[in-house]
């Protein structure tokens, strides 16, 4: 899955989002009235390009939905997204989590047999046209950090922790502090940059707070 980031305003009072008994139910304002159906895709590709908006003096991301495998659908009505997530995901979509994070060096993995997959939520109109995707995250200008969250499914419990360099092509370090529970989890990725250390990412299952839901329209919708 390609993860794309959307800039959004700071909102430290935003409520946390959780999945209870495989049910996702969150209030998401400012969604086009045409959006009535929401589909959950795995193996999802969403391409994006950062654009500087001269009028608002802010960054925005123009995104395009490419492809994905639909595994669930739900509704958007009255400002709320509701969806019943599948209790299990077909094994053909799952990949070993240790390969997903691509960090076998310097990592501690409690269950190397754990497999999983990430998902993305796409909004559709009544005619089946993809209009945009639902994003959960934050652009923290003060700390120069971008936070992005996504839902993922794992087929067994696993704890993944540690720190590893990106490699020769990218200067930086990836840190992991994840406690996955069998089923659906939220995964949070914090991106920051240090002039000396380079790109820094922290991947965690603990909600860092202050994230908000927004709807990002596709440029080709």
pLDDT (tens digit per residue) in 137-154? 887 767 677 888 989 999
Per-residue model confidence (pLDDT) at position 2: 33
Question: Do the beta carbons of residue 180 and residue 160 sit within 8 Å?
Answer: yes
Q: How far is residue 133's CA from residue 205's CA, in Å, rounded to a whole number? A: 22
Q: Does pLDDT of 16 surpass 60?
A: no
Residue 80 CA: distances (Å) to CA of 3, 66, 133, 137: 23, 25, 14, 17
Q: How far is residue 12's CA from residue 94's CA, in Å, rounded to a whole number? A: 34
Q: Is the model more confident about 98 or about 79?
A: 79
The percentage of the chain sitting over the pLDDT mark of 90, rounded to a whole number, equals 44
Residue 169: CB atoms within 10 Å: 5
Q: Does pLDDT of 172 surpass 70?
A: yes
pTM for the whole thing? 0.79
Task: Single out the residue of 35, 15, 20 nearest to residue 84, CA to CA.
Answer: 20
Residue pLDDT, tens place only, 193-214: 888 888 999 999 999 888 889 8
Q: Is the model more confident about 116 or about 48?
A: 116
Task: Single out the residue of 220, 194, 219, 221 nearest to residue 50, CA to CA.
Answer: 219
Confidence of residue 68 (pLDDT cuts 50, 70, 90): confident
């Amino acid at each position: 899955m390609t993860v794309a980031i959307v800039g959004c305003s700071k909102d430290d009072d935003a409520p946390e989002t959780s999945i209870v008994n495989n049910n996702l139910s969150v209030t998401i304002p400012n969604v086009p009235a045409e959006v009535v159906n929401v589909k959950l895709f795995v193996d999802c590709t969403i391409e994006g390009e950062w654009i500087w908006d001269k009028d608002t003096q802010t960054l925005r991301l123009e995104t395009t939905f490419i492809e994905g495998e639909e595994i669930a659908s739900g509704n958007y009505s009255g400002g709320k997204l509701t969806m019943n997530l599948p209790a299990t995901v077909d094994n053909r979509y799952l990949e070993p989590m240790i390969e997903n994070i691509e960090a076998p060096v310097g990592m501690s993995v409690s269950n190397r047999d754990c497999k999983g997959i990430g998902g993305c939520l796409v909004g559709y109109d009544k005619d089946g046209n993809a209009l945009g995707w639902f994003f959960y995250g934050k652009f923290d200008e003060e700390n120069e950090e971008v936070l992005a969250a996504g839902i993922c499914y794992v087929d067994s419990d696993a704890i993944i922790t540690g720190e590893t360099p990106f490699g020769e092509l990218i200067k930086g370090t990836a840190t992991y502090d994840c406690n996955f529970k069998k089923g659906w989890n939220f995964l949070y990725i914090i991106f920051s940059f240090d002039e000396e250390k380079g790109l820094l990412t922290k991947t965690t299952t603990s909600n860092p707070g202050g994230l908000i839901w927004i709807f990002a329209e596709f440029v080709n919708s």
